[in-house]
Amino acid sequence: MEELQIEIGTGARQGVRILRLTGPFTLTTMFDFQNIVREGAAAVTIIDLGGVPYMDSAALGALLGFHVSCQREGHRYALTGVSSRIRTLFQVAGVEGFLVRYETPEQAEAQLAAGAAGA
């Protein structure tokens, strides 16, 4: 079984953390994700899902938990590289409207880092 790989990087701007996920994002692989997002206190976190072929409802729950955490702590985040398969999951679950999404990590960083600097 394929495992989820999470590459942790920094953006071009200060205070930006980029998590690049590769592999299935499921119940069995979400715990590493949860630990990593809890560790960082970056003003902006970009989660690049471009390498994720599929995600289950447990992984969606982990993303929603991260969304709530960011709202509570005043951090900004975005999901990028969301495939049509994952977008369909968001639609079916009724969460597509409030998850922050951009096409690319660069677009997300430009928008969110500029907003964080002004906040």
In this predicted structure, the answer to whether residue 116 has a pLDDT above a threshold of 90 is no
**Running DSSP on this structure, what letter comes out for residue 19?**
E
In the chain, where the domains are located: 5-111
CATH topology of domain 5-111: Transcription Regulator spoIIAA (3.30.750)
| CA distance to 6, 25, 50, 83, per residue, from 29 (Å) | 10, 6, 16, 19
| Contact between 16 and 114 (Cβ < 8 Å) | no
What would the pLDDT profile of 8-64 be if each residue is shown by its tens digit? 999 988 889 999 999 999 999 899 999 999 887 788 999 999 999 999 999 999 999
Per the document, the length of the chain is 119
78-96 mean pLDDT? 95
Mean pLDDT value across residues 50-79: 95
Start-to-end C-alpha separation, the chain: 43
pLDDT beyond 90 at 113: no
